[in-house]
Amino acid sequence: MGYKFRTDLHIEYPFFVEMSHKLNGVKRRDNFNGKETYRCVCPRCGKHKAVMGYARTGDTFILACPVEGCDLGGMTLHDLIKRYGGESMFKRWRKARWKTTYTEDWLPIKNRKRSKS
């Protein structure tokens, strides 16, 4: 059974907002790369200085913690949901991002005969 990965900011945006609220995010007035940003609690160090916003690469959202000594650094939304989002959120994330390629048109082996040795 195979899966096809779909990436789209419109798919990721509701998860971005939900994850920022889960991390006690407060919407900031300024925008980063043309998108909204949130100041959140860092899941590693627990300080309210982490920033969650649009990535410079333009394909996802990221969480960055600028606190000295915090080993979080930067984390993509996928990794953030996988590690800190919980099981139900990850299942919804996987369902939204991955589409199955399984079809019922395969033909099994019929009347397989063993070779005589």
**What span, in angstroms and rounded, lies between the C-alpha atoms of 32 and 52?**
10
pLDDT in tens, 73-92: 789 998 999 999 899 999 99
pLDDT in tens, 15-48: 999 999 999 999 988 776 677 899 999 998 889 9
**What span, in angstroms and rounded, lies between the C-alpha atoms of 44 and 50?**
10
Domain ranges of the chain: 3-93
Of the segments 24-33, 64-73, 97-106, which one has the largest average pLDDT value? 64-73
